[in-house]
Structure 1
Amino acid sequence: MLPRCPICGKPMVVKELKCEEHDVIVRGTFEVPPYVFLDEEDTKFVLMFLRARGNLKEIERLTGIGYFALRGKLERLLEKMGLTPIDTDEESTEADVFRLLKEKKITVEEAIALLKKRRGGEEDGRVAK
């Protein structure tokens, strides 16, 4: 399923569902959950994350991928799915971004995007007072 129109880039909409076995068709406009559009690699990560009960240290142990790289992957998945983390501890999340950047697990552009997102999307990166 394509998440966006290949011509204009706007989100695609599901208009019809069909049961092949019984030839039943339901027409309308259907919302699809954000995980439907994840690629295979992202889907595998989400399934592993769920099987590990959200324990990134366990995934680190199983895969050999560093904790902060996994944390960065999780942040990118949240962004890709349009989800906002529940985490409200801004200082620790900013420290994580800088750690990921220092360890070259994310690019400067990704770090800036994460910090802007956490700070409310201010253009210059400063928090509005």
Structure 2
Amino acid sequence: MDYKIPHQCPICKHEMRVTKLACTHCPTMVEGEFRTCKFCKLPDDQLLFVETFLKCRGNIKEVEKELGISYPTVRSRLDCVIESLGDHKRE
């Protein structure tokens, strides 16, 4: 079973880093200190929203239809994703 990488230490709440990678086909392993991407840190609900938003090419009306939510909810979720990615500027 594949688990999502924890990005926050359950003890001290600081950032976690990936330190070992393994090939799914052969016994190759790589050790080091690797950062994950910003999108990998998003919670599952925000990641689903981003995937839907991209699939709909940013068309908010299409996102509304796809997810069955209202325009203000789409905007609110988009703002939350932007904030989670580290852009705290809102107009």
Give me the TM-score of the superposition, normalised by structure 2.
0.82
User: Does residue 74 in structure 1 map to residue 88 in structure 2?
Assistant: no
Question: What residue in structure 2 maps to residue 9 of structure 1?
Answer: 13
- Once the two structures are superposed, the pairs formed by residues 47-86 of structure 1 within 5 Å of their partners are 47-82=51-86, 84=87
Distance 1:55 1:27, change over 3 A: same
Q: Which amino acid aligns with 1:77?
A: V
Structure 1 segments (4+ residues) deviating >6 Å: none
Q: Higher relative CO (CA 8 A, sep ≥ 6), structure 1 or 2?
A: 2
Q: How many residues align?
A: 87
CA-atom RMSD in angstroms: 1.8
List runs of 5+ in structure 2 lacking aligned partners: none
The percent identity for this pair of structures is: 36
Question: What residue in structure 2 maps to residue 20 of structure 1?
Answer: 24
List runs of 5+ in structure 1 lacking aligned partners: 85-113, 120-129
Give me the TM-score of the superposition, normalised by structure 1.
0.60
Distance 1:60 1:20, change over 3 A: closer
Q: Which amino acid aligns with 1:80?
A: S
More helix by share: 1
Deviation at 1:62, TM superposition (A): 3.0
Computing the radius of gyration over CA atoms, which structure comes out larger, 1 or 2? Answer: 1
Q: For 1:103-129, what per-residue CA distance to the aligned partner results, in whole angstroms no more than 9, with x for missing partners?
A: xxxxxxxxxxx7xx448xxxxxxxxxx
